[in-house]
Amino acid sequence: MSQKIDSSSDLFELRNFFFIGNYQGAVNEGSSLSSLQEADKLDRDIFVYRSYVAQKKYTFVITDIGSNAHPAIQAIKLLAVYLQKFDSKSEREVPLNTIRDWMKDGSATYNHPTIQLIYATMLYHEGSYEDAMRTVYQTNNLEGLAMLVQIYLKINRVDQAEKELRSMMKIDEDATLTQLAAAWVNLYAGGEKIGEALTTYNDMVDRYSPTPLLLNGIAICNMNLKKFAEAEQNLMKALEKDSSNPDTIVNLIACYEQQGKPADVIARQINQLKGVAPQHPYLLQVQKVEEEFDRVSKMFSS
């Protein structure tokens, strides 16, 4: 028997909107919640500000959060600064070092799951996966466990990802975040499990709303099933909802490549990606391959 959590909470819809990637829905829901206990008010503000960050409204978050805000809210401000300055290693080190010092402090002031999660998120972006794992390793909440699932899949440890997923299921197997984590694991496992992941994503679209996050999940499933035309349609719908979503653009590039689309069509999407996420891992990998090609070409032409 799983232990349900937050199923009757005033914040259930707000959290749910955030987890499925309906960030404007989360902001709107948060704005409608007023008569809350103090702890719930903090959680409401945490999810609303994180939704703004997910929408890349970094400047708004940075200017709106005052110096007297709760440390968990201040951590979201640091995340906004970090992501806004991500293209500059020296500038993004400032918020990263600040929250690192908070974590080393060890006092109750900074002992909050949101601070741990945001620090782990920064480390994940840095590629410091082991450090990110250590940050949330002792967690007992769904978001921390979901972060561990993501990290383990990133480093090809599906066995450990499955272990963390089982922990999530013990807490609440019906929770949206648990279901999403199950879809990630099933998609990574491949084979017949892809069908299960596809069913999960489609069920969520039917139950809630089609968001770029869910539509990308469906598209990836379809690409793995060699249904590239269907995947392209999913990604086009995702672009209609957010034309600057880097994940959608990268998946569309992969879909176009698999379909043998003209080079200029693919190049257009690559240029679009350069405009919205110049430091995206896909672009860095392409650059690395091009540089290696140029190096080898020079060797043979000399």
Q: Is residue 240 part of a domain?
A: yes
Domain assignment present for residue 96? The answer is no
Among residues 157, 189, 221, which one ends one of the domains?
Answer: 189
Give Rg (Cα) of the chain.
20
In the chain, the number of structural domains is 2
Which is nearest to 217 in space by CA: 205, 208, 206, 226? 205
Question: What's the one-letter identity of residue 285?
Answer: Q
Shared-domain flag, residues 204 and 284? yes
In a domain, 281, yes or no: yes
User: Which of 131, 163, 189 is the C-terminal boundary of a domain?
Assistant: 189
Residue at 231 is within a domain: yes
Q: Which domain holds residue 154?
A: 148-189
Which long-range contacts does 13-19 make (Cβ < 8 Å, 24+ apart)?
14/44, 14/47, 14/48, 15/47, 16/176, 16/208, 17/51, 18/47, 18/50, 18/51, 18/54, 19/176, 19/177, 19/180
pLDDT tens-digit readout, 66-107: 999 999 999 999 999 999 998 888 999 999 999 999 999 878
According to the model, what pLDDT value does residue 10 have? 84
Query: What is the four-CA torsion angle of 53, 221, 171, 140, rounded to 10 degrees?
Result: -50
Mean pLDDT for back-to-back runs of 10 residues, the chain (302 residues): 48 96 97 91 97 97 96 97 92 96 87 95 95 92 96 96 97 97 96 96 96 98 97 97 95 96 95 90 82 69 62
211: nearest Cα among 173, 253, 240, 177: 240
Residue 221 resides in a domain: yes
253 shares its domain with 210 = yes
d(CA 250, CA 256): 10
Q: Is residue 214 part of a domain?
A: yes
**236 shares its domain with 175:** no
User: Contact 280/273 with Cβ under 8 angstroms?
Assistant: yes
Domain with residue 278: its CATH number is 1.25.40.10
Q: What are the helix and strand counts (H, E) for the chain?
A: 17, 0
Residues 298 and 214 in one domain: yes
82 assigned to some structural domain: no
- 159 with 240, same domain: the answer is no
Nearest to 96 by CA among 62, 120, 61: 120
Are 217 and 286 within one domain? yes
Exposed, middle or buried: residue 197 (CB in 10 Å: 0-12, 13-18, 19+)? buried
Whether residue 165 lies inside any domain: the answer is yes
Q: Are 168 and 265 contained in the same domain? A: no
- Enter the pTM of the model: 0.91
DSSP state of 65: S
Q: How many CB atoms lie within 10 A of CB 230?
A: 16
Task: Output the six-digit token pair for 73.
Answer: 């809210």
Q: Are residues 172 and 213 located together in one domain of the fold?
A: no
Q: Which of 160, 189, 218 is at the close of a domain?
A: 189
Q: What is the structure's pLDDT at 301?
A: 65
Same-domain check for residues 152 and 176: yes
Q: Which of 218, 225, 187, 275 is nearest to 235 (CA)?
A: 218
> 174 and 275 share a domain?
no
Q: Give the separation between CA 117 and CA 114, rounded to whole angstroms.
A: 5
Half-sphere exposure (Cβ direction) of 159: Cα atoms closer than 13 Å = 0
291 and 229 in a common domain: yes
Instruction: Report pLDDT for 162.
Output: 97
Torsional sign, CA 25, 200, 9, 108: negative
Residues 205 and 276 reside in one and the same domain: yes
Whether the Cβ atoms of residue 135 and residue 125 lie closer than 8 Å to each other: no
